[in-house]
Amino acid sequence: MLGFATAGLAAYAADLALFLCLRGPLGVDPIAAKVGSFLAGCTVAYLGNALGTYRRRAVALREYLVFFAVNVAGAAVQLLCLAASHYGLGLTSARADTVSGLGVGMVLATCLRFWGTRTLVFRNDPTA
């Protein structure tokens, strides 16, 4: 769990930094900024888990594809939180976007990602 948390923290930092840069100085739309920052965070998370947390397991294309699918589901949770706040509730400030997409959305998405990564991606192989 500590390895997953460490990889997740690094991915969160990459996600947050890129989101704030895209949303702030570059003025990118919040949904487009979140999609871009998600891709960066997903890549950092995969590398952290594949090379760190689950390094003793063989990593194949199947694991990468399922990992990406689990992270897309997590990103959907974050985007729904962001969209609900920004467009549904009218909370359009950069701070509100950060809290909803990278605060509330990240907590919910992390729960989903932990479950999916552990049970679907880097699962124990009974034949090993």
pLDDT one-digit tens code per residue, 77-112? 988 998 899 899 999 888 898 888 878 988 898 899
Tens-digit pLDDT profile for residues 55-82: 766 667 777 788 889 989 988 998 899 8
Q: Where do the structural domains in the chain lie, given as residue ranges?
A: 2-121
Residues in contact with 64: Cβ distance below 8 Å, sequence separation at least 6, in sequence order? 46, 50
Q: Which residue has the tokens 């990240």?
A: 106
In b/e form, how buried is each residue of 102-127, taking b as 16+ CB within 10 angstroms?
bbbbbeebbebbbebbbeebbeeeee
Within a 10 A sphere around the Cβ of 60, how many other Cβ atoms? 8
**Are the beta carbons of 3 and 53 closer than 8 angstroms?**
yes
- Two tokens, residue 105: 């959305």
**Are the beta carbons of 57 and 125 closer than 8 angstroms?**
yes
